[in-house]
Amino acid sequence: MDQRRAAVFGASGGIGAALADALEADGCEVWRGSRGGGGLRGFAFDLTDEDSIAAAVARIGGELDLVLVASGVLHDAARGVAPEKSWRQIDPAAMARAFAVNAIGPALVAKHVLPLLPKGRRGVFAALSARVGSIGDNRLGGWHSYRASKAALNMLVRNLAIECARSRPQAVVVALHPGTVATGLSAPFQRGVPAERLFTPAVAAGALLGVVARLTPADSGGLFAWDGQAIPW
């Protein structure tokens, strides 16, 4: 791994924690962001509070070789967020929350953190998205808010990649699909997933970091799965 200094936004999550642990085990200096903050090189931020993101990035300072946005929401009972089975269940507040956390929040992180990517060498910004956010791949329907917010994230990543390349031609800005991973986010939906397709967070993190290590600036703007395959938008 060539990442020397990294920041993980959403390091309290199942996949985010595993990504941060794997990077640290590899000798990387890792900054871990979560709503609670705390710990060595820990910082507090909330995706719905731009000031908290700006303050966190100011605290990290210096160049970052790798930025991972590993946050996201699929269900949140306290806010009425749950994957819809039908258009009848669409609720504007719940949908707005999904967009705030899954699309607008990562865009705000990018706004503040992309200036910290190196100018004269490779740097990577990767946001965890989901295959179900692919419009071309959608055959099942449902999960309106989650799918649409991830599709919006994918578009934002493509836009950010195009703009970033103008000042940082060696940068890689991508969206990643981690596979189905045993975390709190997927817990209600793991039934029926064959054991060999349900990854532990550590396995998913290892696979994703392998993909990140192999991506080149020519891949910037794309959506890639845990096995390195490009997913259609």
Ligand X SMILES: NC(=O)c1ccc[n+]([C@@H]2O[C@H](COP(=O)([O-])OP(=O)(O)OC[C@H]3O[C@@H](n4cnc5c(N)ncnc54)[C@H](OP(=O)(O)O)[C@@H]3O)[C@@H](O)[C@H]2O)c1
Within positions 183 to 212, which residues make up the interface with ligand X, using CB under 6 A?
Answer: 183-186
Considering beta carbons, is residue 3 or 71 the nearer one to ligand X?
Answer: 71
**Helix, strand and coil percent figures for the chain, each rounded to 5:** 45, 20, 40
Considering beta carbons, is residue 122 or 130 the nearer one to ligand X?
Answer: 130
Contact yes or no for 75/81 (Cβ under 8 A): yes
Tokens representing 10 are 């959403």
48 is a site residue for ligand X (CB under 6 A)? yes
79 is a site residue for ligand X (CB under 6 A)? no
- Select from 3, 10, 208, 223 the one that contacts ligand X (CB under 6 A): 10
- What is the CB neighbour count within 10 angstroms for residue 229? 11
Stretch that binds ligand X, among 55-63, 68-76, 210-218, 223-231 (CB under 6 A): 68-76
Decide: helix, strand or coil at residue 178. Answer: coil
DSSP annotation of 42: E
Considering beta carbons, is residue 15 or 215 the nearer one to ligand X?
Answer: 15
CB of 166 to ligand X, least distance (A): 27
- Select from 95, 123, 178, 211 the one that contacts ligand X (CB under 6 A): 178
In angstroms, the Cα distances linking 74 to 8, 10, 131, 147, 185 are: 19, 14, 13, 9, 6
Residue whose token pair is 């998205």 = 129
Residues of this chain that bind ligand X (CB under 6 A) = 10, 12-16, 34-35, 46-48, 70-73, 101, 128, 130, 177-178, 180-181, 183-186
